[in-house]
Amino acid sequence: MNDIVDIESDKKHPFKKKRPIASGELPVPTAVFYAVAGMVLVIFLSLSLNPFFFYLVLTYIALQILYTLKLKHIPILDVLTIAAGFIIRVYAGAVVVNLHMNVWFLLTVLSASLFLAIGKRQSERTLLEGQLGETRKTLQHYSKRLLDIYTGMFANTTWLTYALYAYQRDEFSPIDSVFRNIVFLPKTFTNF
């Protein structure tokens, strides 16, 4: 859906112009059909796995639609939206296998997601130095210094939170009968 909405700006991009929709190899009506069919299929199949997974899928789809239509045009929120997508995917996987997630692991994923999103903006800004406004107007709002600061900050928090995750032992065990009453929640949402 994002490539369909961005077709005109992608045609001006040095690399994105080679993508199937921007290059004209994949007709827009065909792309729309498969995008909608894919979303409907994913929603339908997610119902069979877990209700929490279903809600995460709906949240992820809503977030991607908001990103495509509005959030990618707002500096900083575009990066936070990309990172939120990574977080939702990690939670969705953990919910399906009923896995308890350590808080340090979650912080590692968050930091790494922000690092990747900022890195994407930084590489785009470097690649499109002379034509920032033509393909992605948001890039004009990111100074090289700001991106360098964010890159360093998120790189450091990623390795630090991963180190804390790797060396901390955290096991899930219900303490008494009060906690056994919330056993219907996936381990993903519990932190006891």
CB burial of residue 87 (10 Å; 0-12, 13-18, 19+): middle
Weakly modelled stretches of the chain, pLDDT under 70: 130-136, 169-185, 187-192
Nearest to 160 by CA among 95, 99, 115: 115
177: containing domain:
49-189
Give the CB-side neighbour count of residue 38, counting CA atoms within 13 A. Answer: 8
Two tokens at 31?
């792309």
- Between CA 22 and CA 4 the distance in angstroms is 8
Two tokens at 64?
């991607």
- State residue 135's pLDDT score: 59
Answer whether residue 155 is part of any domain. yes
Answer whether residue 103 is part of any domain. yes
- Between CA 8 and CA 12 the distance in angstroms is 7
- State residue 66's pLDDT score: 94
**Total structural domains within the chain:** 1
Answer whether residue 65 is part of any domain. yes
Answer whether residue 25 is part of any domain. no
Do 192 and 173 contact (CB within 8 A), yes or no?
yes
pLDDT tens per residue across span 118-163 = 988 888 887 777 665 555 677 777 788 888 899 999 999 999 999 9
- State residue 183's pLDDT score: 59
Answer whether residue 31 is part of any domain. no
- State residue 133's pLDDT score: 55
Answer whether residue 170 is part of any domain. yes
Answer whether residue 8 is part of any domain. no
Answer whether residue 36 is part of any domain. no
